[in-house]
């Protein structure tokens, strides 16, 4: 009887760990990053996220403060991904973001559709009251 109870408890513990690991990280709120731009110059970019289950919505600040909506957003465990379409010099550009969430940081890789070039940067959660 004790071995069956121990097995049941071990199974429930494993199931709970699996559920916790699979749960989407809560990235809701504002995040900022120094993002590589033209000629290697860094510029600040703000990400505003809202999570509902695994669905990610929100916006990314663009040049001159324009807010560009996120599409195809997803958060699974510690992985985050989304795309942003924006206008650059009168041309429509689609950027893909993929990242790994670790506490109050997201390590991103950004790529431009039609280009092999990738840029890496880290976004940090804005603390409320600062």
Q: What pLDDT shows up at residue 47?
A: 96
pLDDT for position 17: 43
pLDDT value of position 18: 41
Quick one: 52 exposed, middle or buried, by C-beta within 10 A (0-12, 13-18, 19+)? Answer: exposed
The model's pTM is 0.77
Give pLDDT < 50 ranges for the chain: 13-22, 130
User: What pLDDT was estimated at residue 89?
Assistant: 77
SS3 43: strand
């Amino acid at each position: 009887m004790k071995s069956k109870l121990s097995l049941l408890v071990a199974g429930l513990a494993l199931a709970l760990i699996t559920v916790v690991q699979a749960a989407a990280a809560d990235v809701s709120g504002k995040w900022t990053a120094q993002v590589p731009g033209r000629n290697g110059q860094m510029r600040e970019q703000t990400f505003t996220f809202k999570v509902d289950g695994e669905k990610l919505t929100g916006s990314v600040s663009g040049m001159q403060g324009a807010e560009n909506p996120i599409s195809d957003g997803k958060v699974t465990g510690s992985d985050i991904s989304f795309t942003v379409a924006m206008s650059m010099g009168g041309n429509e550009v689609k950027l893909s973001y993929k990242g790994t969430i670790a506490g109050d940081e997201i390590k991103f890789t950004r790529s431009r559709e039609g280009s092999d070039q990738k840029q890496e940067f880290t976004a940090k959660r804005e603390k409320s009251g600062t």
